[in-house]
Amino acid sequence: MKESWVTFIEALDQLMPGFDPEIGKLAQRVLINPRKIDYQTGVFASKITPAKDGKPVTIELIDAKTKEPKETLEVDAVIIATGRAPFTQGLGLENV
């Protein structure tokens, strides 16, 4: 099996910003630290360039507050996920 590394990027200053900070610290200690997961907080992915002609995907990171360039990552693949609250009004879920 091919070994993989994960880099987690969070724009806010803590992991799991929608949760109590202690929950984020617990998740970091139990779920992230024991694995090959790198994480960066306080950064935005300002530009993602798809892989082309044998070159990897590149992700340009900027500081979330100052908007200054921070780092460029070269990766095999990107998964984008946003923290969004579901809009369930009118679906009748309260009756389920």
Are 74 and 61 in contact by the 8 Å Cβ rule? The answer is no
Which residue ranges form the domains of the chain, and what is each CATH number? Answer: 6-80 (3.50.50.60)
The C-alpha angle with vertex 58 and arms to 53 and 62, in degrees rounded to 5, equals 160
Q: State mean pLDDT over 7-20.
A: 86
- Looking at the predicted structure, is the pLDDT value of residue 86 above 70? yes
CA separation for the pair 48, 69 (Å, rounded) = 14
Say what the pTM is: 0.72
Residues 6+ apart with CB under 8 A from 48: 57, 58, 59, 60, 78
Specify the pLDDT at position 18.
Answer: 81
Exposure string of 54-67, with b = 16+ CB inside 10 Å and e = fewer, is: eeeeebebbebeee
Q: State mean pLDDT over 69-95.
A: 85
Q: Which amino acid is at 7?
A: T
